[in-house]
Amino acid sequence: MVIKGYARRLPIDDDINTDYIISGRYKFQTEDISQMARHIFEDLDPHFYEKVKEGDIIVAGKNFGCGSSREQAPRALKAAGISCVVAKSFARIFYRNSFNIGLPLIEVDTDIIEDGEPLEVDLDKGVITLLKKGEQISFNPIPQFMQKLLQDGGLVPHLLKYKGFAMEE
């Protein structure tokens, strides 16, 4: 599975909590995830949603997704068109929630990735290619069974599709 998109960095790199992703004030105003998506990272950059394009890749530092365990944070990112999040590390519950809803996360050193850089993320090979620079960054490939969950749109759609777990076709 290959993901292509442009890197989107935030004004801060580390400890991006779930309230930065989608502020709690919106989590209780609406259940409409597309409405929530319009407010991603609003407290860090009030115009972030206007800049993001379908397929963009969030690039961050350490401990991305820390804070509350609400699933709205990864769901809002996905609804905003984010195709993948690349960071040095993730909060464990955010990591689990993201794969459960079909949003791939990659743990890798992100220091050389610049905002706006076109990226290609190969989940099979475990390689991020910085297309403008021609450089590559290696990461542990995403296991095939997790890629299958991603392709099916997450855990629940996968379970509904196969009436349980189906890791091979």
pLDDT, average across residues 35-39 = 92
Taking only the tens place, the pLDDT of each residue in 101-127 is 999 999 999 999 999 999 999 999 999
Answer whether residue 169 shows pLDDT above 60.
no
pLDDT at 70: 78
**The residue to which tokens 């196969």 are assigned:** 162
Q: What is the CA radius of gyration of the chain?
A: 15
Q: Average pLDDT over the chain, rounded to whole?
A: 92
pLDDT at 30: 67
Answer whether residue 27 shows pLDDT above 70.
no
Rounded CA-CA distance 66/108 in Å is 17
All domains in the chain, ordered by first residue: 2-141 (3.20.19.10)
Rounded CA-CA distance 125/16 in Å is 28
Rounded CA-CA distance 137/46 in Å is 31
Are 34 and 72 spatial neighbours (Cβ–Cβ below 8 Å)? no
pLDDT at 46: 94
**The residue to which tokens 């990659």 are assigned:** 106
